Amino acid sequence: MSVQTRPRRLTTRDIGAKKRNGEKIAMLTAYDHVTAGLLDQAGIDVLLVGDSLGNVVLGYETTLPVTLADMSRHAAAVQRGSSQALVVCDLPFGTATDPETALRSAVMLLQETGVQAVKIEGGASAAPIVARLVQQGIAVMAHIGLTPQSVHQLGGYYRHGKDEDQARDLIAAAKALQEAGAFAIVLEFLVPELAAKITAQLDIPTIGIGSGPDCAGQVLVINDLIGLSIQPPPSFAKPKADIAAIVREAAAAYIAEVKAPAEETP
């Protein structure tokens, strides 16, 4: 009788080693048990339980209404559905406003879900928050550039790092977050040349989204990747499938079958 060994889950050390070894890091969002399992079977490195679930799952216009309870419920499902990928969960809007609030939020998430790390949006001002969590043994992924939780303060969704002052601030922020102990940094919608420069200057991996090909890894919202949406994908996303069309066709066939007149029996 053979004994099956449980596959080892990737760790933050493994993710860091991939950058040092020149291996690109693949990350996708997941919000449910089945999707997490399928992506895990495909060999994804990192699963992000993003607060983007507010847009693609819950139907909100922004991520701001997403609560810690929402994140906990979905993160627990993703954790249960995966066995090999590193699972990272967003701390949603208002739950990481200062080091102690963020610590309470992160502790709750880790205890309730079993995920391995949390993600925090924010520039250099978020460094003390990252440092506090890392001090308590919590792995943190940072996130700079376009930060959706700050959409109203930013004035919309647009590419970041176009002028010298903004580029300098983003480089400084990335270095401060690395110094605070972040194990990786998401660079969202940065000028590609700036994203490449930040990636070269950091020891930790950068994970790009709409920031060009030179980051240490890439992340996409799973719905954008597979074409499962009722809205067009962002300009930087290139869907690999059209699941929405398949769903519509299957539903239409089912509806027609149900509504068809019953065949008369002789």
Annotated binding residues for 3-methyl-2-oxobutanoate, written as ranges, equal 51-52, 90, 119
164, 188, 193, 257: the active-site residue: 188
Structural contact between residues 86 and 12, judged by C-beta atoms closer than 8 angstroms: yes
How far is the C-alpha of 56 from the C-alpha of 215, rounded, in Å?
Answer: 25
- Residue 112 is a catalytic residue: no
User: Which bin fits 31, alpha (ψ -120 to 50), beta or left (φ > 0)?
Assistant: alpha
Feature table: binding site: 51-52, 90, 119, 121
CA 16 to chain centre: 17
Nearest-5° angle of CA 30, CA 51, CA 208?
75
Q: Which amino acids are annotated catalytic? A: 188
